[in-house]
Amino acid sequence: MNSARCSLGLEQEFFLVDAQGMLSNKADLLLQLCQNIAKSQGRPPECFKPEFVKSVVEINTVPCRDAEELSQDYLDVLRIALCAARELNLQLYPLSTYPLHTLPVMRDQLNYHVQLRTIGLERFYNAAKCAGVHLHLGLPPGTINQRTGISYKSTPEARSMLLNIYNLATALDTALITLSRASPFYEGRVSGMAVRTMHYRGSEYYGWEGVYTHLQAVGGLSPYASSIEKLVEQQFYRYYSWLEAMDRAGVERRLFLDSGGELLKVGWNPVRINKLGTVELRSMDSNYPAVVLALVNLIVSVVNRVLADNLTVRPGSGATQFEVQGTKLIVPEFNYLNGELLYNAVTEGIDSHQIRNYLNSIFEFAYGKNQWQAPSASAQFRTANGEYRTTEAEILQQFAPTTEQLSSEDGLNLVQHCCEQMEKQVLRYQHLSVS
């Protein structure tokens, strides 16, 4: 039995809206108030951060020891943000895309201008219209090096842990896309697709026009790493792919370096090694707190079992699900995971039998065969009759548009409804903790 555990950290992005549900560019005002409240409570003000547009804010937890501590810290930070928003007559909209048309106002910072010029204005602005959740899985101190990616001085145990967690996070990617699907609307239209994944990650092969459609090396899912050496190669391949993209766009490389560019700064992939010393999972839609915390519970349960049972995570030839074989956890082969399975996750979602089988194998691995009879994250993602459910599906049941374009009135009603639902969830968690 291995006693190793990952420290945990969580980030969530929110759209800032006014009392009517319209986007607001008062992020700086809100963040200043949040930071003042945090300081008064002895909490790091860095838990509240700006995004590259003034209508989106980000909250962050401090590093936590386990999922329970993370949940409490996340809710504490979120309560501060909600309190500050109420004082300013603003609200936090929790879902992954704002439902109506947006005109983002970008911050005047060099690193953002470098990205905009390299990717292109219209394509880059897709990122301003998407909000996500990022979970950080901490690695042993000294594992990560900002210059080489992985430290040459790290222990064999640390490297093995990194490789397993990285491959496990990769194998979970499609599950997190599916289960976190939140907003069905993008610029007032409903497509029946996972719109944040389409418009943020993109795919040239499937014709999904997103930020990284033609730059999958820095924004798409990278293959499993068969060794630490291969993982290091991935970091440098991503880095030089970005520099070459800058060259093609006529952007001087020195501008990237002047903006703090370094090996691990390049990369907006669904799974990436972070200079903070973590493996960062970035494929989740921003969502209600109950969904976010259930996803954290699921990921942590899977990771903890891999570490506790000393399992080696490896893709299997022809594998489509999670399956333990001796000391190995066999996961779907990459071409299937990032091909047919990804396509099904973005299009059919929980209606796909391949997706359901894949999800079933993950939940069984995390919680056992009797998972539905015991409290677990499973309950958040299942209806009373045992079918999978998502926030996106529930939103469509209540706010399905009667025309091709969502009306402004319906869109604003949806925003206000979601803001109220989040407030109710946070209040419910507070009552549970008190009782």
pLDDT digits (tens, 9 = 90+) for 297-348: 999 999 999 999 999 999 999 999 999 999 999 999 999 999 999 999 999 9
Q: Give the per-residue pLDDT at 386.
A: 78
Q: Give the per-residue pLDDT at 401.
A: 84
Establish if 420 belongs to a structural domain: no
Establish if 416 belongs to a structural domain: no
Establish if 413 belongs to a structural domain: no
Residue 275 contacts residue 147 (beta carbons within 8 Å): no
Q: Give the per-residue pLDDT at 349.
A: 98
Q: Which residue pairs, CB below 8 angstroms and at least 24 apart, start in 350-355?
A: 350/178, 350/387, 350/388, 350/389, 350/390, 350/393, 354/320, 355/174, 355/178
Phi, psi of 338 (to 5 degrees): -95, 10
User: Could you tell me which of 15, 37, 36 has the C-alpha nearest to residue 90?
Assistant: 15
Residue 188 contacts residue 399 (beta carbons within 8 Å): no
Alpha carbon distances (Å) from 75 to 81, 82, 126: 10, 10, 28
Q: Which residue pairs, CB below 8 angstroms and at least 24 apart, start in 158-161?
A: 159/228, 161/4, 161/307
CA distance 90 to 76: 19
Task: Give me the number of domains the chain comprises.
Answer: 1
Q: Give the per-residue pLDDT at 61.
A: 98
Q: What's the distance, Cα to Cα, between the start and end of the chain in Å?
A: 35
In single-letter form, the type of residue at position 304 comes to: N
Q: Tokens for 184, please give them.
A: 């069905």
Establish if 411 belongs to a structural domain: no
Q: Give the per-residue pLDDT at 2.
A: 60
Q: Give the per-residue pLDDT at 435.
A: 46
pTM of the model: 0.96
CA distance 169 to 331: 11
The CATH number of the domain where 221 resides is what?
A: 3.30.590.20
User: Could you tell me which of 136, 134, 245, 132 has the C-alpha nearest to residue 197?
Assistant: 132
Quote the domain boundaries for residue 378.
8-390
CA distance 93 to 412: 11
Query: pLDDT 10s per residue in the chain (435 long)?
Result: 465 789 999 999 999 999 999 999 999 999 999 999 999 999 999 999 999 999 999 999 999 999 999 999 999 999 999 999 999 999 999 999 999 999 999 999 999 999 999 999 999 999 999 999 999 999 999 999 988 999 999 999 999 999 999 999 999 999 999 999 999 999 999 999 999 999 999 999 999 999 999 999 999 999 999 999 999 999 999 999 999 999 999 999 999 988 888 899 999 999 999 999 999 999 999 999 999 999 999 999 999 999 999 999 999 999 999 999 999 999 999 999 999 999 999 999 999 999 999 999 999 999 987 655 455 677 899 887 879 999 999 999 999 888 889 999 999 999 999 999 999 999 998 866 654
Residue 81 contacts residue 14 (beta carbons within 8 Å): yes
Establish if 409 belongs to a structural domain: no
Residue 67 contacts residue 300 (beta carbons within 8 Å): yes
Over the stretch 245-281, which tens digit does the pLDDT of each residue have?
999 999 999 999 888 888 999 999 999 999 999 999 9
Q: Give the per-residue pLDDT at 1.
A: 47
